[in-house]
Structure 1
Amino acid sequence: MTSTSDGAAGLSGRVVALMALSCALAVSTIYYHQPLLPLIASSFGVPSTQASLIATLTQLGYAIGLLLIVPLADRQQPRKLASLAVAANAFALLACAAAPSFALLCIASFAVGVTAITAQIIIPTVSGLAPPALRGRTAGILLGGLSAGLLLARTASGFVGAATGWRTVFLAAALVDLGLWAIVARKLPAVSTPTSLGYGALLRSLGRLVREERVLRISAATAFMMFAAFSALWATLAALLAQPPYGFGPAAIGAFGLVALLGIAASPRIGALADRLDARALLLARALALALGFAFIAAGGRGLGWLIAGMVLLDFGNRTGLVANQTRVYALRPEARSRLNTVFMGAYFLGGSAGAALGAYGAHRAGWAGLAATGALLALAAAAINMLSLRAARAAVVDGTS
């Protein structure tokens, strides 16, 4: 096994690029279903709003996979753990493709979420090998890969699903996992495992980290609200766009994923800003961008221009907050980086699951306006948490100097 220092020496730009690609392929599996929800609902004869349960369960499964699997990367070789996760994910995708009922598809989708955590093994491993001055930029590149995965999933699955059916999308995703497995098994840098704690002790240590690290608590809370707001849109977008006045099909709905292109291009720059600027200022900017984005989303039923402008703001806000939070969380305890990531990203995707459910409820009650009200409230809650943390930090400085 190589040491961390050896891994750092081998962290070339090519390796970072391959790992960004791996992040894209890994995370895409939890988003392929989003443009397909109306098709899935129709094939099983369930209401389109009920099909959003698939999105909720997939995000919930992802959060549970983060809690139960990712901490092992502090104890076992990340390369081996990630390879096993990819293999299990491929089997879960095949189960989705073959699901004979909506209930079994929900169960298989949950399994997809649980096993789709490879990117959350890669990101702390590779970011930890980067020099401190470049850690934010490296994280930004890897998160750009995550965003590319969202784009791949939402756009490609819409077109493929419209042409060949939703089951073909899941079958193709399982085949993509074979390529991902080959990359991860050969190219993910080997690093020394920093702890010999048993599995139970690893899980118990998560609670200790939450108690002892105030920055982790604040980051996790804002991440929960941030991704809840973002997921409220994407879990309900397909159902709303399939209805009047738009009546779009899966291919047109999938094309809305192209909005993420601007954010993908900006990810390394956002990461560089996180290296230089105060993370709390970036988080406040993110929360305000999310709230403003939902003001535009409220008018989404009256014109695509409003909707697209809102989606751009939501993508910027979500991306900025994620990079800023992850950069400061990874700096807390190098020996516990995977467990810190578990707490942070677990909160993030629990928020995604909650946001998907709340967004579906808001959209069912009041359409675009209901969705926008739900998302705006979640974004403002994130801003409030951030402002309270600023006040507490300033009070601590005053107390420390008095």
Structure 2
Amino acid sequence: MVDRKDPAADPLSPATIFLMAAACAFAVATLYYNQPLLPEMGASFGRSGSDAGLLATATQLGYAGGLVLFVPLGDRIDRKRLILTLLAFNMASLLAVAFAPTFAALIAASVAVGLTAVMAQVIIPAISGLAAPEVRGRIVGSLLSGLSAGLLFARTLSGVVGGHAGWRTMFLVAVGIDAVLMAIVIFRLPRTPPSTTLPYLSLLSSLGDLIRREPVLRAACLAGFLMFAAFSALWGSLATLLAEEPYRFGPDMAGAFGFVGLAGLLASPWIGRAVDRLGAPLVLRIGALTVLLAFLLVIEAGSHIGFLIAAMILLDIGNRAGLIANQSRIYTLAAEARSRLNTVFMSSYFLGGATGAGVAAHLAQRFGWYGLAATGIAFALCASMMALAAKHPGA
């Protein structure tokens, strides 16, 4: 239950949902500022494109670690206090990136950025847990539209700022954006009392109990791992491939490709309503097959930019459909453990992202667009098989 004495407005009002979606956007943006800038970040330390890809992998791995270490605390302490603490450390981590003196220090700071950037995954279960089951898909879709906006915002802004003022300046700007996020949280996020009194170590050990007890959670984790691996394979390699022949695009142009995120941004509320009407398994299947189709188009992306743009639009929509469907079905499992359910699912999701980015960095470096396409097709095929196995509403 929400503390009704809190000055924040009704947590399910349109205004509050909009502001919480904006908070999710600013929170998740922290993970993606580096993607259009990877070639420049690597080059400033004399590193290759595949080495620079390690920065995206390090950030994703840090995020997965933060999901395990910090998000479960949302069931144990007031979520507003948890988010504000994470924000303070995230700002310090962004400063460490901006002033990193060596490539090793940059990797370490990137891990710290990901580790402390999990605020959205505290906000989403806090707000969606207050919604009735028949509208939960719509609420989740609205909040996840913020994540789509964050991806678009981060990649576009970092491409422009990095292209004109250097990549270090972008991370100083990011500190200011975190300050705006802090203001939104202070004034609008409702306080939530703990749903458990478990000690911290018991809270972490209960994650394994949830995995063993909930087959739906296990299925959602595997499907999410595979779909986000495919998604991150493309985005983790995009700037490097666009910098080569035949395109020779700089960071500002690579960042401009973030505008394809408008597809996911506009589609998220509709996908949420589709989950409410049609059920999560069907939407999940459609999403996985859409991701597969996207990577079939990537095969020709090195020759025709139209194929690349079409592939990115399909990939964004397909991945978003999978995320909304999976999160909607796990939130029905255990009301007292929503933060921990989200921890398990999103940890697997971002481990998939780190895996996809890491594999694609090497294959794209060696085989170009064909290596990227092969990576995405492999992950998407496995995700499609997982999605097809979800045959009933509770699956």
Q: Shorter-chain TM-score category?
A: over 0.9
Residues 70 and 339 of structure 1 are in contact (CA less than 8 Å); yes or no, is this contact kept in structure 2?
A: yes
Residues 49 and 365 of structure 2 are in contact (CA less than 8 Å); yes or no, is this contact kept in structure 1?
A: no
TM-score normalised according to structure 1 size: 0.95
Quote the residue 1:275 is aligned against: 276
Quote the residue 1:206 is aligned against: 207
Residues 39 and 166 of structure 1 are in contact (CA less than 8 Å); yes or no, is this contact kept in structure 2?
A: yes
3-state DSSP of counterpart to 1:300: coil
Quote the residue 1:360 is aligned against: 361
Quote the residue 1:16 is aligned against: 17
Matched, 1:105 2:106: yes
Structure 1 CA distance for aligned equivalents of residues 260 and 5 of structure 2: 39
Q: More displaced, 359-368 or 286-295?
A: 359-368
The one-letter code sitting in structure 1 at the alignment partner of 2:379 is L
Q: 1:140 to 1:61 in 2, by over 3 A?
A: same
Structure 1 CA distance for aligned equivalents of residues 124 and 186 of structure 2: 15
Quote the residue 1:400 is aligned against: none
3-state DSSP of counterpart to 1:51: helix
Quote the residue 1:333 is aligned against: 334
The one-letter code sitting in structure 1 at the alignment partner of 2:246 is P
Consecutive unaligned residues in structure 2, runs of 5 or more: none
Structure 2 CA distance for aligned equivalents of residues 65 and 319 of structure 1: 22
Matched, 1:351 2:352: yes
Q: How does 1:368-387 map to 2 (within 5 A)?
A: 368-387=369-388
TM-score normalised according to structure 2 size: 0.97
Consecutive unaligned residues in structure 1, runs of 5 or more: 398-402
The two structures, once aligned, show a CA RMSD in angstroms of: 1.8
Residues 160 and 255 of structure 2 are in contact (CA less than 8 Å); yes or no, is this contact kept in structure 1?
A: yes
Structure 2 CA distance for aligned equivalents of residues 290 and 387 of structure 1: 14
Matched, 1:172 2:202: no
1:186 deviates by 2.2
Structure 1 CA distance for aligned equivalents of residues 4 and 368 of structure 2: 51
Residues 60 and 110 of structure 1 are in contact (CA less than 8 Å); yes or no, is this contact kept in structure 2?
A: yes
3-state DSSP of counterpart to 1:129: coil
The one-letter code sitting in structure 2 at the alignment partner of 1:340 is L
List per-residue Cα deviations over 1:108-163 (Å, max 9, x = no partner). 00000000000000000011112222211111111000110000110010010010
Structure 1 CA distance for aligned equivalents of residues 3 and 382 of structure 2: 42
3-state DSSP of counterpart to 1:301: coil
Higher helix share: 1
List per-residue Cα deviations over 1:248-269 (Å, max 9, x = no partner). 0000000000011122011111
Residues 80 and 185 of structure 1 are in contact (CA less than 8 Å); yes or no, is this contact kept in structure 2?
A: no
Structure 2 CA distance for aligned equivalents of residues 313 and 269 of structure 1: 15
1:13 deviates by 1.1
Quote the residue 2:74 is aligned against: 73
Residues 4 and 191 of structure 1 are in contact (CA less than 8 Å); yes or no, is this contact kept in structure 2?
A: no
List per-residue Cα deviations over 1:2-35 (Å, max 9, x = no partner). 4489999543111111110000000001100000
Between the two proteins, what is the percent identity of the paired residues? 54
Structure 1 CA distance for aligned equivalents of residues 172 and 273 of structure 2: 38
Structure 1 CA distance for aligned equivalents of residues 2 and 126 of structure 2: 13
Matched, 1:216 2:217: yes
Structure 2 CA distance for aligned equivalents of residues 107 and 178 of structure 1: 23
List per-residue Cα deviations over 1:88-119 (Å, max 9, x = no partner). 10000000000011110000000000000000
Quote the residue 1:126 is aligned against: 127
The one-letter code sitting in structure 2 at the alignment partner of 1:297 is V
Residues 4 and 192 of structure 1 are in contact (CA less than 8 Å); yes or no, is this contact kept in structure 2?
A: no
List per-residue Cα deviations over 1:160-189 (Å, max 9, x = no partner). 001000000000001111111111122111
Quote the residue 2:35 is aligned against: 34
Q: More displaced, 378-387 or 241-250?
A: 378-387
1:282 deviates by 1.1
Q: 1:185 to 1:160 in 2, by over 3 A?
A: same
| Count of equivalent residues | 394
Structure 1 CA distance for aligned equivalents of residues 367 and 54 of structure 2: 19
